A and B are shown apart, each in its own frame.
Chain A
Amino acid sequence: MAANLFYFLIFPGLLFAGITGAFLSWFDRKITARVQFRKGPPLLQPFYDFFKLLLVKETILPKKGSPVLFLLAPVFSVFGATMAGVFILLPLFNIASGFRGDLIVIFYLLTIPSFSYIMGALASGNPLAAVGGSREMKLILSYELTFLLVIAGIIMKAGQQFDLYSIIGTQQQGGAFIGSISGILLFIAALFCIQAKLALVPFDMPEAEAEITEGIYIEYSGAAYAMIKLAKHIMLFILPAFLAALLLGGFRTEGINILWSILKIVGTVLLLTLLRNTNPRIKIRQAMSFFLIWMNLIAIAAIVLIVFGY
């Protein structure tokens, strides 16, 4: 029990994932700034932002709507993100082997933050948040199938293994999955799914600043918004980590390999950042057809290739 609490709260859960995610979000902001000829924030800026929101700023509740649900939603999102993080990071760091079928659990846990954002947005009673919430729903409907197909492809590639630990083990013995044609296709599809899960441009229509002024988060302030920031930081770390576990051969923590592991995460975040800085936001309908047609086609093509052994 104590060990589980430690896993959840300290390592590799809330504290570790939160801090790493905050540094990654600094990296994202710094790269963005450099691309745009700006200077960018100092290293600790995400922490300043977080603690200012948590400790200094007032939490304002919307007059209409349900305050309890509104305040619970950010907590749920942090909880879901942390749980998913624990299940992803434990096998990655070779601490515990997880259980058979944990991939399915991770898949469900990763959707909890998105669902809690929708819940909080609809509980706030703001029309702009409602538009953002409906957009987030449509976005989930479009990318989840692709994400599931990617995971199905990985399971087939690993020889019908349903747990993350053996998938990583298979890759560490037989080479990372990305080294094959089907692996590259799966990586592309997964990368776009992660982009959409993180709601980064071009898939940031739920928060679309210039259209619906941050949409789903519009009514959040103070500590509640700090929780959302925390959940976003955690997601920014665990989703690339999940990708590293599924396709890039997982982590090795001994000696020089640790640098290689860090590079996998940072490289993925760099790809996401560059993607978001070289595209405008697309419309929700375009996002749906992008995932439901093109990305699903890519994922299915990858699965067909896996069946034929490529």
Chain B
Amino acid sequence: MGRKTLIPIGPYHPLQEEPELFKLYCDGEIVKDIQWVTGYNHRSIEKLSESKTYEQVFFLVERICGICSTSHPFAFANAVEEIAGVEITDRAKYIRSVIAELERIHSHLLWVGLAGHFLGYNTVFMWAWKYREPVLDLFEMITGNRNSYAMFKVGGVRRDIEGSKISEIRKVLDVVKKKTDLLTGAVMDDPVIHARTKGVGVLSKQDVIDFGAVGPTARASGLAIDVRMDDPYAAYPLVNWKVITATAGDVFAKAEVRLLEMYESISIIEQCLKGIEKEKEGEITVKVNEIPPGIGHGRAEAPRGEVFHFVMSDGSNCPARHKIRAPSYVNIATFKKSCIGQTIADATITLAGVDPCYCCTERMAVACDSGTGEVILNGRELIERSVLRTGELKSTLKERT
């Protein structure tokens, strides 16, 4: 073990727009070890959720992540509807799936752009984000918002997709499809992109299973895991589609999976639009009077992987317990496997390759004994320690000055 240089990526770094810290321990350009620190942006969503009514929680969980702002309400709706035992109308199911798939398209386009930027290919960055704009405009037309759509409620959706909007959605989808063709061609056939991403940050199928990775990260390694297929919800069992997988497990395979998934999403939306046209107008909600005591599990496939919400109800109008598990939380653990042994240039694109989302990932820390699981320090005690430590630091600073 020679001397290692610490290359910090974060807490403020152009690679990631969110605050997080990756410590790359490097020997020359080779990454020998990696550690990460999150917790710069903890917002205590789960606790807040316990003080809000079920209708209000939708607006709260929507703000966990700005990019997958449908996935969290989707999973929460699935969980609450499981407790209440409601079956929503087919029209609402189709509308929910349309929104979720549009979100997948814009999220994957966003990732393609960012990946281009991280490779220094700013033209791809600007082009992908330009082509993402029509999708956001579509969201504004359907829901009134470019982001954080506020479409979901217990028992259905808030806004309908009427006939006039359907033709507009089809028009925009045609444009998006053409632009996706162009981007896919530009990325898939560029020899320099191949040179930069093939064989970089490889995760084998076994690694993915070991780390419990989900979403495109897992599918790029040949593990066909997709909540939409494995535990069908909303309109996904009603339409024809397939799970996209690749086998290489490198960054290029992840890009390939995401680009091809966009075509699947477009196909799902088209089928859902046909479904909406068949259904009766106006039947978008089922009235839910109260949430009985019980527990519910909600799963939804976010663009980054499985989002899981656990909701416990005590019969009141607020959740008694609400637990959220976001996909990036498990996906970033794979860096331990994929980044070590790579050069810094490869490690950075590998970090970006799982499309990490840190605001979903923030957790509260509790120190516990690894053998017995007994809690040594809880959150409050850790905060007290932190306050104490800050005080000590301040006093030493005063002494120095």
Contact = CB atoms under 8 A, between A and B. Distances in A.
Q: Is chain B a partner of chain A in the same complex?
A: yes
B86 interface: no
Given A128-B7, A210-B120, A280 B345 contact: no
Contact of A281 (B8, B121, B130): B121
Contacts of B14: 209-210, 213
A216 to B, nearest CB: 14
B348 A211 contact: yes
A212 B123 contact: no
Question: Which of A32, A201, A279, A285 has the most B CB atoms < 10 Å from its CB?
Answer: A279
B127 A210 contact: no
A200 to B, nearest CB: 10
B344 to A, nearest CB: 6
Question: Which of A32, A37, A277, A283 has the most B CB atoms < 10 Å from its CB?
Answer: A283
Contacts of B344: 131, 211-212
B196 A282 contact: yes
A279 B117 CA distance: 11
Nearest to A205: B345
Interface string B126-138: 1100100000000
Contacts of A211: 15, 118, 344-345, 348
A36 B196 contact: no
A16 to B, nearest CB: 31
Contacts of B127: 36-37
A202 interface: yes
Given A134-B29, A282-B196, A208 B121 contact: no
A186 interface: no
A14 interface: no
A35 interface: yes
A211 to B, nearest CB: 5
Nearest to A285: B343
Nearest to A204: B120
Contact of B346 (A127, A128, A283): A283
Interface string A106-147: 000000000000000000000110110011000000000000
Given A35-B123, A127-B7, A128-B7, A279 B348 contact: no
Given A127-B5, A283-B196, A284-B29, 10 more contacts: A36-B122, A208-B345, A210-B15, A211-B344, A211-B348, A212-B7, A280-B119, A280-B190, A280-B192, A282-B196
29 contacts: A36-B122, A36-B123, A37-B127, A37-B130, A127-B7, A131-B7, A131-B26, A201-B120, A202-B120, A204-B120, A208-B345, A209-B14, A209-B120, A210-B14, A210-B119, A210-B120, A211-B344, A211-B345, A212-B344, A277-B122, A277-B123, A278-B123, A279-B121, A280-B116, A280-B121, A280-B124, A280-B192, A281-B121, A283-B196
Interface of A: 32, 35-38, 127-128, 130-131, 134-135, 201-202, 204-205, 208-213, 277-286
9 A-B pairs with the lowest CB-CB distances in the bound complex, closest first: A281-B120, A36-B126, A280-B119, A280-B121, A210-B118, A211-B348, A201-B120, A277-B123, A283-B345
